[in-house]
């Protein structure tokens, strides 16, 4: 019965109810949309990193630190036997990392030179969503070329190199002697993983080992998804997917507080609207409250009625969100959101078309959060009713 009265009262309030429900549903939509974007970003970055770079995980040389190029000089050695077996089974592949200088168009540029087996198919640096040939394959079968080179599109833009262009590569070998040869751009890959692109050139690993005088050596070994951790990787360190994407997670986490402030402001707006409506209701509906009390409704039930009326706002807001904003959310989830710029230049792994992810957990937590906030702001003003005298209320006098 209480529910019926509450619903009738809400419908009777018409525009006021609509506005409250609309504001709540906008908050609902924005919170869902932005959280979904962040989840989408995180999922995209994780999946892209797995597909293009880390696969199932890696084993690193103990001195290797990818963010410290100074460590490259000392981070190479023969591959441990257990890892070598994985490589022979084509479940892993080695990468040899070193520093070099390139001279595209006669200008010097320091780069990270990475040797990779051209025949590997564990990762696809252009992502798994493409039908194109794995770009590392473009490095194979070019014995006539001094150094076949694979670069990313951003690197190509920066160096103004095109496919077929040649440039000088200079490096220090393991004996600290300078050597230089001509590299030829075999392919320019379009990768969304900026770590494989900016400041990096890829060459066949055999060539790199030969150039650097580091036969059969590597800096790290990347293994396929689903492969269990090997028991004896020597002093090489196991790095799982969670470790390898921790920097991406940290970058996204660092951006969260700003959005939490936005969510808080939106919730405050919703709460204020409902709070205001409740206070106004109690002031204007004094005679109704007095009548209900005179007819035998207890104070607590009257408080319950008003709280329920307020709380029904969030329920109606949920329905309104599904009806009005559901198609928009669905459209973005299907088609993605085209972003105005390429964030890879800024060192961020964000898709050019961002697809938000709305998980069940996200929808439930957002619904519960908004429900609780609305319930609280509906309850607090209604408490005044418990102090009312029915005869005063019947006369329309509100006393607290």
Residue 165's CB is within 10 A of a number of other CB atoms, namely 17
Applying CB under 8 A, among 131, 143, 144, 175 the residue interacting with another protein is 175
Closer residue to another protein, CB minimum distance, 175 or 334: 175
Residue 110 has a CB neighbour count (10 Å cut-off) of: 10
Instruction: Choose which of 180, 250, 265, 294 interacts with another protein (CB under 8 A).
Output: 180
Interaction of residue 143 with another protein, rule CB under 8 A: no
What single-letter DSSP state applies at residue 122?
Answer: S
Residue of 39, 165, 173, 288 interacting with another protein (CB under 8 A): 173
Going by C-alpha positions, the residue among 173, 190, 202, 182 that lies closest to residue 111 is: 202
Is 245 within 8 Å of 49 (Cβ atoms)? yes
- Report residue 254: phi and psi, to 5°: -65, -25
Within 10 Å of residue 82's Cβ, how many Cβ atoms?
A: 16
Q: Which stretch binds another protein (CB under 8 A): 23-31, 173-181, 194-202, 343-351?
A: 173-181
Rank residues 99 and 184 by Cβ distance to another protein and give the closer one. Answer: 99
- The yes or no reply on residue 70 touching another protein (CB under 8 A) is yes
Q: Output the smallest distance, CB 63 to another protein, in A.
A: 11
Determine if 105 is a binding residue for another protein (CB under 8 A). yes
In 285-359, which residue ranges form alpha helices assigned H by DSSP? Answer: 286-294, 299-320, 326-335
Could you tell me the two tokens for 49?
């990193």
- The residue within the footprint of another protein, chosen from 4, 14, 162, 176 (CB under 8 A), is 176
Among 1, 15, 67, 177, the residue binding another protein under the rule CB under 8 A is: 177
Q: Within the chain, where are the H helices?
A: 2-13, 15-49, 81-88, 153-159, 205-212, 241-244, 246-284, 286-294, 299-320, 326-335, 360-382, 390-394
What's the min distance (Å) between Cβ of 247 and another protein?
23
Q: Is 166 in the site for another protein (CB under 8 A)?
A: no
Contact between 172 and another protein (CB under 8 A)? Answer: yes
In the complex, what is the shortest distance from the CB of residue 139 to another protein, in angstroms, rounded to a whole number?
A: 20
Considering only 13, 30, 47, 73, the residue that binds another protein (CB under 8 A) is 73
CA distances from 370 to 25, 240, 382 (A): 10, 37, 19
Work out how close the CB of 74 gets to another protein at its nearest, in angstroms, rounded to a whole number: 8
Q: Which of 2, 69, 354, 394 binds another protein (CB under 8 A)?
A: 69
Say how far residue 248 (Cα) sits from the centre of its chain. 8
Q: With respect to another protein, which residue has the nearer C-beta, 40 or 148?
A: 148
Q: Decide if residue 168 touches another protein (CB under 8 A).
A: yes
Q: SS3 for 97? A: strand
Kindly state whether residue 235 participates in binding another protein, applying the rule CB under 8 A: no
Nearer to another protein, 175 or 228 (CB): 175
355 Cβ contact list (under 8 Å, min separation 6): 40, 44, 332, 333, 336, 337
- In the complex, the smallest distance separating the C-beta of residue 144 from another protein, rounded to whole angstroms, is 16
Q: Considering the rule CB under 8 A, would residue 288 count as an interface residue with another protein? A: no
Per CB under 8 A, 103 contacts another protein = yes
Provide the pairing of β-strand 57-60 with 237-240: antiparallel
> Quick check: 308 and 6 in contact, CB under 8 A?
yes
Chain residues in the site for another protein (CB under 8 A): 69-70, 72-74, 99, 101, 103, 105-108, 168, 170, 172-173, 175-181
């Amino acid at each position: 019965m209480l529910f019926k009265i509450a619903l009738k009262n809400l419908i009777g309030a018409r525009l006021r109810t609509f506005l409250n429900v609309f504001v709540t549903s906008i908050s609902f939509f924005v919170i869902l949309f932005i959280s979904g974007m962040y989840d989408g970003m995180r999922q995209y970055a994780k999946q892209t990193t797995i597909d293009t770079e880390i696969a199932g995980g890696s084993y690193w040389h103990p001195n290797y630190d990818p963010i410290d190029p100074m460590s490259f000089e000392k981070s190479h050695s023969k591959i441990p036997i257990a890892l070598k077996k994985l490589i022979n089974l084509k479940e892993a592949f080695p990468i040899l990392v070193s520093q070099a200088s390139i001279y595209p168009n006669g200008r010097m540029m320091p780069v990270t030179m990475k040797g990779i087996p051209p025949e590997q198919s564990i990762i696809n640096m252009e992502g798994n969503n493409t039908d194109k040939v794995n770009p590392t394959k473009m490095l194979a079968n070019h014995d006539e070329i001094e150094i076949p080179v694979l670069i990313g599109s951003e690197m190509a833009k920066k160096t103004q190199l095109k496919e077929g262009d040649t440039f000088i590569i200079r490096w220090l070998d393991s004996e600290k002697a300078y050597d230089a040869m001509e590299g030829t751009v075999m392919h320019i890959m379009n990768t969304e993983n900026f770590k494989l692109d900016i400041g990096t050139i890829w060459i066949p690993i055999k060539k790199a080992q030969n150039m650097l005088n580091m036969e059969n050596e590597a800096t790290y070994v990347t293994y396929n998804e689903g492969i269990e951790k090997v028991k004896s990787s020597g002093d090489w360190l196991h790095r799982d997917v969670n470790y390898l994407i921790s920097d991406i997670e940290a970058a996204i986490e660092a951006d969260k507080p700003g959005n939490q402030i936005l969510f808080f402001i939106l919730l405050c707006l919703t709460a204020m609207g409902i709070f205001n409506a409740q206070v106004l209701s109690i002031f204007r509906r004094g005679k109704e409250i007095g009548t209900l009390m005179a007819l035998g409704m207890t104070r607590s039930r009257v408080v319950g009625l008003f709280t329920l009326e307020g709380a029904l706002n969030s329920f109606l807001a949920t329905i309104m969100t599904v009806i009005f904003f559901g198609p928009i959310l669905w459209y973005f989830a299907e088609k993605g959101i085209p972003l105005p710029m390429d964030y890879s230049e800024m060192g961020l792994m964000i898709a050019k078309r961002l697809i938000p992810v709305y998980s069940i957990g996200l929808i439930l937590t957002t619904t519960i959060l908004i429900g609780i906030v609305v319930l609280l702001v509906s309850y607090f003003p209604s408490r005044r009713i418990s102090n009312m005298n029915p005869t005063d209320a019947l006369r329309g006098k509100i006393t607290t």
